Amino acid sequence: MKFTLAMLGAIIAAFIVGAFTPETSWLITVYDLIGTLFINALKMIVIPLVMAAIIKSLMEISVKESLGALGAKTALFYTFTTFMACATGLLVINWIKPGIINGVPGAEALGLPGVGAETLEKVTGRSGGEFLNTITNIIPPNLIEAAATNQILGLIFFSILVGVFLRKMSTPAAESLKSGISGFYELILSITNAIIYLAPIGVFALIAEVAATTGLASIKPMLVFMGAVMLALGLHAFVTLILTIRLIARRSGIRHLSAMTPALLTAFSTASSSATLPVSLRCVQERSYVSKRVSSLVLPLGATINMDGTALYECAAVLFIAQAYGLDLTIAQQVLVVFLSLATSFGVAGVPAASLVAITLILGTLGLPAEAIGLIMVTDRLLDMLRTAVNIWGDSVGAVVLARLEGEEEVLSKPPEDFKVGAAA
């Protein structure tokens, strides 16, 4: 467990060092530089890794097997867990009522009305059209543009097409293309391993920066809301999803949790599902023993469209703001919130703070002022780190469950081994 320990050590050390770094220190620039280099390296590798992994896993499935069944099961499973996440978020916020302060709607106590124009601009500049775009861009009109603007869903679609068609081809040219793709995939894996080797340093820098720049005073009025969101995320991650592994996959959720720790810590530090994907692919394949065939398809899809933590957070945030404004949402309105959270979590990009746009959209639909988003921005980074970890955890549970449904016996059959760091896969 040396690698996991190094990651944990880096995170704890970073919180301490960060807390003692003055907000004006030049060290913050250094943290920022190292952290950005690390995230850039992960992002650099994501597109070739995802495309090569998907094409390779599909082209290697024998022609006799059916492909659609796995896809349909994946979609069904992800929708189910996201729905459970939304329900948990709603229940906890309805129960704790963080928006009610001293028995009255807390808008004033929370300073809701006056919000900086600059925060507003960041979010309201984008609109619901963005989510519609996500749907239409599933078929990317221009591949290069899709890659350049990080539209992973479109690239996944294209890779699936390539894999599915290549699978049926057996001309000499197609065969050499297949072996070329396999070689390329091995190359990308080796580079990925080298980047992961540096993760403790990158993670240290990212967390130290957050710890140094997030003031405790600004978080204070939001503590109840933060606590409620953490409780709901915890319930979903540790009760619902662990039970799902037990009941459907018939395996130990705790063992899977320990296998996934490096990926969860990376998600926590980067607050980006797509940047975490290289690490979570490796954890699921090498430490939870899920086949490449299932994980190479289920995880990239999950990192893009399955966001349990995000959907839960959207529900929680909208309900919290409604409470603070004294608006009692009816059951029908709450169902609408769940539906919108589900739908938008599908379109939210796997990058930091992405769900704020979705929350603005839902607030608008309910007739609540979008300005309220400024309030939750204060605490967003910390909760973003947590919900991203839950997003990645949900994807990995999907990989385990689907692999088991596909009859894979080896999944979680033995304790995780330490990464052979730096070694080519």
What's the length of the chain? 425
Q: Does 306 bind ligand ASP (CB under 6 A)?
A: no
Task: Report how far residue 166's alpha carbon sits from residue 58's, in angstroms, rounded to the nearest whole number.
Answer: 8
Minimal distance in Å, beta carbon 77 to ligand ASP? Answer: 18
Q: Does 382 bind ligand ASP (CB under 6 A)?
A: no
Stretch that binds ligand ASP, among 23-31, 134-142, 286-294, 386-394 (CB under 6 A): 386-394
Stretch that binds ligand ASP, among 84-92, 226-234, 363-371, 384-392 (CB under 6 A): 384-392
Q: Does 391 bind ligand ASP (CB under 6 A)?
A: yes
Nearer to ligand ASP, 159 or 266 (CB): 266
Size of the site for ligand ASP (CB under 6 A): 16
- One of 307, 329, 377, 401 touching ligand ASP (CB under 6 A): 307
CB atoms within 10 A of CB 250: 11
> CB-hemisphere CA count at 13 Å for 353?
11
Task: Report how far residue 107's alpha carbon sits from residue 226's, in angstroms, rounded to the nearest whole number.
Answer: 16
Minimal distance in Å, beta carbon 79 to ligand ASP? Answer: 17
Q: Does 396 bind ligand ASP (CB under 6 A)?
A: no
- One of 159, 285, 306, 310 touching ligand ASP (CB under 6 A): 310
> CA dihedral in degrees (311, 315, 321, 325; nearest 10)?
160
Nearer to ligand ASP, 334 or 391 (CB): 391
Stretch that binds ligand ASP, among 22-30, 152-160, 349-357, 394-402 (CB under 6 A): 349-357
Yes or no: say if 138 and 357 are a contact pair by the CB < 8 Å rule: no
Stretch that binds ligand ASP, among 50-58, 80-88, 124-132, 265-273 (CB under 6 A): 265-273
Positions 15 through 74 that interact with ligand ASP (CB under 6 A): none
Stretch that binds ligand ASP, among 20-28, 121-129, 271-279, 328-336 (CB under 6 A): 271-279
Task: Report how far residue 302's alpha carbon sits from residue 79's, in angstroms, rounded to the nearest whole number.
Answer: 11
- One of 134, 193, 285, 355 touching ligand ASP (CB under 6 A): 355
Each as own residue / partner, the long-range contacts of residues 63-67 (CB below 8 Å, 24 or more positions apart, any chain) are 63/167, 63/168, 67/164
Nearer to ligand ASP, 90 or 249 (CB): 90
Stretch that binds ligand ASP, among 108-116, 319-327, 352-360, 402-410 (CB under 6 A): 352-360
Helices 292-305 & 68-96, crossing angle to 10 degrees?
Answer: 40
Q: Does 272 bind ligand ASP (CB under 6 A)?
A: yes
Q: Does 334 bind ligand ASP (CB under 6 A)?
A: no
Minimal distance in Å, beta carbon 141 to ligand ASP? Answer: 25
- One of 151, 192, 273, 323 touching ligand ASP (CB under 6 A): 273
Q: Does 351 bind ligand ASP (CB under 6 A)?
A: yes
- One of 209, 308, 371, 384 touching ligand ASP (CB under 6 A): 384
Nearer to ligand ASP, 123 or 402 (CB): 123
Burial class (CB in 10 A: 0-12, 13-18, 19+), 297: buried
Q: Does 344 bind ligand ASP (CB under 6 A)?
A: no
Residues of this chain that bind ligand ASP (CB under 6 A): 271-273, 307, 310, 348, 350-355, 384, 387-388, 391
